[in-house]
Amino acid sequence: MSFNDINSIASSGMAAQRLRVQLIAANIANSETTKTPEGGPFRRKDAVFRVMPLQGSSSGPEMAGVQVSKVVSSTEPFISKYDPSHPDANAEGVVLYPNVNPVEEMVNLTEASRAFEANVSVVRAARTMALSAMDILRVQ
Amino acid sequence: MDPLQSLTPISPLQPLMEQGKASTEAQGGTHFSDLLKQAMQEVSEAEHSADQEARNLMSGEATDMHSAILAVQKADVSFQMMMAVRSKLISAYQEVMRMPM
Amino acid sequence: MFDLISSNPMIQAMDRSMTLATRRTELIASNLANIDTPGYRTQDFDFNEALKTELARMDSQQTSLVRTHPQHMASTPGSSLPPTVDPVGPAYERNDGNDVSLDRESMLLARTQQNYQLSSNFVQTELRKITSMIREGSR
């Protein structure tokens, strides 16, 4: 049934955006983390989205959900600050801070939550439409 | 209204027509069968109009929802009126047939 | 003779309308799910034109009471769903090559849903009339 397909697509969108929000939350939480287990400051993480074709759909290749194909660490340069008294300062007294821009993260967060809500509205619309169709059965 | 005619006995209205003629001709009023014919004509026109309005609404030709909705309701009401007239005619005919001659 | 639904123009027209509305909703769902997918382009079709074409085709086929296709109510024999195009184009394209507009899709979703519900309500009215006709006509 096409409403099932629609719901699958929408829920894949919700899952992808939710993961994105988790990554953003981690970025913000770690924006001051100067030392990680891998060594060096925290690197900003982002999700890479790819089209996910529906399995067993009869409606053709245009209908597709989304998936997170991988999580990438940003290769942007770290932010340097001169602070010799910091425990993680290097030989020149410079501390490297994560390449996280909190303002940018907040903007991404807003976008991700708007996209999430949009997928929710698709589920709601599909439900309303299915109920409308089922009402036809109720005619006495 | 082809589907209607395939379901309902229209022919018993023929003798009613003669009765109607006899009783109303003096007053020069309309015949019973003409009433039903007129009602069916109205229904047919109203339905056609409603179909067209609904199509226009769905395909974006018309932007007002209310005119299509009112047209559909109008067709529905015309239909119910027609059924009521038909019921009255049938029961009048049946009453006439019951009269001892 | 007994198939009062296949010969009912209102129900047939609304059936076409609901099929196209469902199709459009599928595309909108795909667009919104992929709003952040790099390189993804908006998919849509001209609903009004597609419906008018379908209705014209339906009218010219008249009433053929022989239905052999098992999916009669879902899609008519010989009809195909319209191809998708990208109506938004480069105007909305962002850095990642994605051109899906959240506002546009949300607006279309609401409109399509309403369209579908209206069609369904028109069908219900017709069915009520048909059933009352059958009931009254058998008295």
pLDDT tens profile A51-81: 998 876 666 677 899 999 999 999 999 999 9
| Mean pLDDT computed over B44-56 | 93
How far is C19 from A125, CA to CA, in rounded Å? 15
Between chain B and chain A, are at least 3 CB pairs below 8 A? no
Residue A49 has pLDDT above 70, yes or no: yes
Residue A43 has pLDDT above 90, yes or no: yes
Which tokens belong to C24? 């459009």
State residue A38's pLDDT score. 85
Q: What are phi and psi of A45, to 5 degrees?
A: -110, 145
pTM passes above 0.90: no
Using an 8 Å CB-CB cutoff, list chain C residues near A107.
none
The pLDDT tens digits along chain C (139 residues) read 778 888 899 999 999 999 999 999 999 999 999 999 999 999 999 999 999 999 999 988 865 544 555 444 434 444 567 888 888 877 888 999 999 999 999 999 999 999 999 999 999 999 999 998 888 877 7
Residue B39 gets which letter from DSSP? Answer: H
The ipTM assigned to this model is 0.89
How far is A63 from A53, CA to CA, in rounded Å? 7
CB neighbour list of residue C56: distance below 8 Å, 6 or more residues apart: none
Residue B16 has pLDDT above 90, yes or no: no
* C65 at interface of B, judged by CB pairs closer than 8 A: no
How far is B19 from B51, CA to CA, in rounded Å? 37
For chain A, give the longest Cα–Cα distance. 85
| Mean pLDDT computed over B25-39 | 66
| Mean pLDDT computed over A92-111 | 94
Q: C25, C109 in Cβ contact below 8 A?
A: yes
State residue C62's pLDDT score. 63
Contact B7 C138 (CB under 8 A): yes
Q: Are strands A45-53 and A64-73 parallel, antiparallel or unpaired?
A: antiparallel
Which residue in B has a C-alpha nearest to residue C53's C-alpha? B59
How far is B61 from B56, CA to CA, in rounded Å? 5
- Domain spans in chain C, listed from the N-terminal domain onward: 9-137
Residue B96 has pLDDT above 50, yes or no: yes
Which residue in A has a C-alpha nearest to residue C11's C-alpha? A136
State residue B83's pLDDT score. 87
Contact A133 C112 (CB under 8 A): no
Q: How many CB atoms lie within 10 A of CB C30?
A: 31
How far is B48 from C64, CA to CA, in rounded Å? 19
Amino acid of residue A124? R
Which tokens belong to C72? 């009669």
Q: Out of A26-30, A87-91, A101-105, C21-25, which region has the weakest mean confidence (pLDDT)?
A: A87-91
| Mean pLDDT computed over A130-134 | 93
Residue C90 gets which letter from DSSP? Answer: G
| Mean pLDDT computed over B18-41 | 62
3-state secondary structure chain A: CHHHHHHHHHHHHHHHHHHHHHHHHHHHHCCCCCCCCCCCCCCCEEEEEEEEECCCCCCCCCCEEEEEEEEEECCCCCEEEECCCCCCCCCCCEEEECCCCHHHHHHHHHHHHHHHHHHHHHHHHHHHHHHHHHHHHHCC
A13: exposed, middle or buried (C-beta count within 10 Å: 0-12, 13-18, 19+)? buried
Which tokens belong to A135? 């009402």
Helices (H), C34-137: 47-61, 102-137
